[in-house]
Chain A
Amino acid sequence: MRKLKLHPCGKFNEQYEEELTIFSTDFGRLWMWVGIVLLFAVVPFISSHYHLYVINHIGIAAIAAIGLNILIGYTGQISLGHGAFFGVGAYAAAILATRVGFPFWLSVISAGVITALVGVVFGLPSVRLKHLYLTIATLAGQFILQYLFVSWESLTKGPEGIMLPRASLLGFDIKGDRTFYYVIFVCFVILTWVAVNLIRTRFGRAFIAIRDNDRAAEGMGIPIFKYKLLSFAISSFYAGFAGGLAAYYIGSITPEPYTLMLSVEYIAMIIIGGLGSIPGAVFGAIFITVLNEILSQSTQFFMNIEGLAKIALTIAPLREFVFGLAIVFFIIFEPKGLAEVWRIIRSGFRLWPFSY
């Protein structure tokens, strides 16, 4: 057995590989396995149906948020169209399942691929444009796609929406929250693994170089345009995949949810979680989904009490206010997000009692 690596006193990397490792110590690797065991063997059995429902939504949101973080956090290209990309994935999965009769796994994956292509189309302006112009282009993409969802009735059935057939995988029916839990979180673990490793490859390093200084990156021989489009494609693939899963999980889709507000929600997730951090995207997804649930629960709670229904009506718009406040607060006070908070807490434990 090789020698176990534990925390050294400080960070002394002697070789480039050490800088690239995901787990700098074996302790971290152990915690990952503990986490996976908890995720698959404990959580689904101790949670109620409602909790599983929330956790499943967190899983779906986390997949999309990881994708968006690859685009914004690692490549530095802002997209305000991710809500619509998520919708493209949902519609692609639904249409492929109902019209073409694709099985569950194939239609979700094709949903990802189709969304990746759509993402590339809206990433095309990045040939000649930087930050702010590109942001506006994706904003336009959001509105154009939203219009297509409602108006391309021969394909999307407009405001009526599409009912999806029940998902089945390898001959098993996927029904109920618990089975879906396994499907969603197996996908989540695989896609997280891919994303974490992607950042370590030449592609990931090229993305980071483009984010930090695109002129320097181009000077060093990175074909910027190609990598920007690739980043758009990968990030839209994640969004579309998550959208497809969500469509099957909910069972029917309508154009209403995929608005600009959803895009802002995803941006809030990765800012709150931490730009340029994969765990950060997951933290952000947890934070925003739970916040959403708390706000809608409290609205319902006040709705049911006589005389307090008026308060409930004012809580509904508070949701937007709280999202905005969270984005602003984190940008100003903790631009690295919850991931940084988590790192500080962790190193607090590690260094205790001598925090030098």
Chain B
Amino acid sequence: MEFFLQLLIQGLSVGFLYALAALGFVMIFKSSSVLNFAHGELLAIGAFIFLAFSVWLKLPIYLSFLLTLVGTFAMGFVIERLFLRPLIGEALIEVIMLTVGLAAMFKGLLLVIFGGNLFNYPDFLPAGLTIKWGAINIPPVYVASFIIGIIFLSIFGFFFKYSSQGIYMRSVADNQPAALSLGVHVRRVFAMSWAIAALVCAISGIILGIMNGINVHDISVLGLKVFPVVILGGLESIGGAIIGGLIIGILETFTGGYVSTSLKEVIPYIVLVFILLVKPYGLFGLVEIERV
């Protein structure tokens, strides 16, 4: 029983990591229906920019956090301007391949600049955030990330449902030509959605960095683990991303604990194929798959 509880807690924390990583992905998909294969690299870029500000330039933590957010927001604009704007109105296949290319490019660039070593942030979260509950001890990182997750969930829930910008984004994602003809400024919507998504990715990346340390390879592997998570949760659903993340995390640690450690790495993908065959729109996704 103790082993079970231990695995459960470990699984929940891994799952939270996945859920956090998936948030930015869902943002991009929801607002522009681009399947972003460069997601892990966006997380890594945010984490490394924060590292550069806080550890190398030795700026105060909160200032460097703010600068990272501003920097990644601007970077989102630049990425959209340089790479995705020329493809507005092109076939989906080219956009997907473009993100595959961007992933390789960013990863190479990060490896050239920072190398493949493991980096750590200084400890800066207040120790008061620790939750003690009997024998269970939840470290402040998880508490902080839990709070951030809830904030994300509510802000973006309202944003997409009620704000006009959010509704534009959904319309662009749903049908680009139709949105264009109804007078939605597609280019501006695209730019905004990439900028916001880059910012969300940076926040997730920093939290991941605090939890596990940052390493280019690890984060890009994590970026691909996002796929099982969002497919399980439903591609358009932020709540689904969180629940999907938790389920995948628990499943992974239980497989690792009870079955075999090597199977642990692929079980999310096996689940992914299974879900795609049985319930492709996931738990909370929009059921509008066109069967051709």
Chain A interfacial positions (CB closer than 8 Å to B): 72, 76, 78, 80, 122, 124-125, 127-133, 135-137, 139-141, 143-144, 146-147, 150-151, 214-215, 218, 224, 260-261, 264, 267-268, 271, 314, 317-328, 331-332, 335
Chain A residues closer than 8 Å to B104, beta-carbon distance: 261, 264, 268, 320-321, 323-324, 327
* B270 is an interface residue with CB less than 8 A from chain A: yes
Q: Is the CB of A151 within 8 A of B112?
A: no
A147-B263, A147-B266 known; 13 new pairs, CB 8 Å cut-off, are A125-B273, A129-B280, A130-B289, A135-B35, A139-B227, A140-B270, A144-B269, A146-B266, A147-B265, A317-B107, A318-B112, A323-B108, A324-B105
Whether A80 touches B100, Cβ cut-off 8 Å, given contacts A136-B227, A325-B105, is: yes
> In the complex, A224→B217 CA distance in Å?
39
Q: Is the CB of B273 within 8 A of A332?
A: no
Q: Which residue of A lies closest to B33 (CB)?
A: A132
A-B contact pairs, 23 of them (CB 8 A): A125-B273, A127-B291, A130-B290, A133-B231, A133-B276, A136-B35, A140-B228, A144-B269, A144-B270, A146-B266, A150-B262, A218-B292, A261-B104, A264-B104, A267-B97, A268-B101, A317-B112, A321-B104, A321-B108, A321-B109, A327-B97, A327-B101, A328-B83
Chain A residues closer than 8 Å to B93, beta-carbon distance: 72, 76, 78, 131
Chain A residues closer than 8 Å to B266, beta-carbon distance: 143-144, 146-147
> In the complex, A271→B86 CA distance in Å?
16
Q: How many residues of B contact A (CB 8 A)?
A: 43
Chain A residues closer than 8 Å to B224, beta-carbon distance: 139, 143, 260
Q: Is the CB of B277 within 8 A of A331?
A: no
> In the complex, A127→B263 CA distance in Å?
27
Q: Which residue of B lies closest to A326 (CB)?
A: B101
Chain B residues closer than 8 Å to A320, beta-carbon distance: 104-105, 107-108, 111
Contact of A314 among B83, B112, B276, B277 (CB under 8 A): B112
* B151 is an interface residue with CB less than 8 A from chain A: no
* B123 is an interface residue with CB less than 8 A from chain A: no
* B272 is an interface residue with CB less than 8 A from chain A: yes
Chain A residues closer than 8 Å to B90, beta-carbon distance: 335
A-B contact count (CB 8 A): 145
Q: Is the CB of B92 within 8 A of A129?
A: no
* B172 is an interface residue with CB less than 8 A from chain A: no
Q: Is the CB of B272 within 8 A of A140?
A: yes
* B156 is an interface residue with CB less than 8 A from chain A: no
> In the complex, A264→B37 CA distance in Å?
11
Q: Which residue of A lies closest to B260 (CB)?
A: A151
Which 10 A-B residue pairs are closest in the complex by CB-CB distance? A321-B108, A324-B105, A327-B101, A324-B104, A317-B111, A320-B108, A140-B269, A147-B266, A328-B101, A143-B269
Q: Which residue of A lies closest to B228 (CB)?
A: A140
Q: Is the CB of A147 within 8 A of B292?
A: no
Chain A residues closer than 8 Å to B35, beta-carbon distance: 132, 135-136
Majority SS of interface residues in chain B?
Answer: helix
Chain B residues closer than 8 Å to A146, beta-carbon distance: 266
Q: Is the CB of B273 within 8 A of A324?
A: no
Chain A residues closer than 8 Å to B231, beta-carbon distance: 133, 136
Contact of A224 among B87, B97, B292 (CB under 8 A): B292
Contact of B97 among A128, A129, A271, A319 (CB under 8 A): A271
Chain A residues closer than 8 Å to B92, beta-carbon distance: 131-132
* B152 is an interface residue with CB less than 8 A from chain A: no
| Min C-beta distance of B114 to chain A, whole Å | 10
> In the complex, A157→B111 CA distance in Å?
32
* B94 is an interface residue with CB less than 8 A from chain A: yes
> In the complex, A318→B93 CA distance in Å?
26
Chain A residues closer than 8 Å to B272, beta-carbon distance: 136-137, 140
| Min C-beta distance of A235 to chain B, whole Å | 15
| Min C-beta distance of B280 to chain A, whole Å | 6
Whether A128 touches B280, Cβ cut-off 8 Å, given contacts A139-B224, A140-B272, A140-B273, is: yes
> In the complex, A215→B228 CA distance in Å?
28
> In the complex, A317→B116 CA distance in Å?
9
Contact of B98 among A76, A132, A328 (CB under 8 A): A328
| Min C-beta distance of B292 to chain A, whole Å | 4
* B197 is an interface residue with CB less than 8 A from chain A: no
Q: Which of A127, A135, A141, A214 has the most CB of B within 10 A?
A: A135
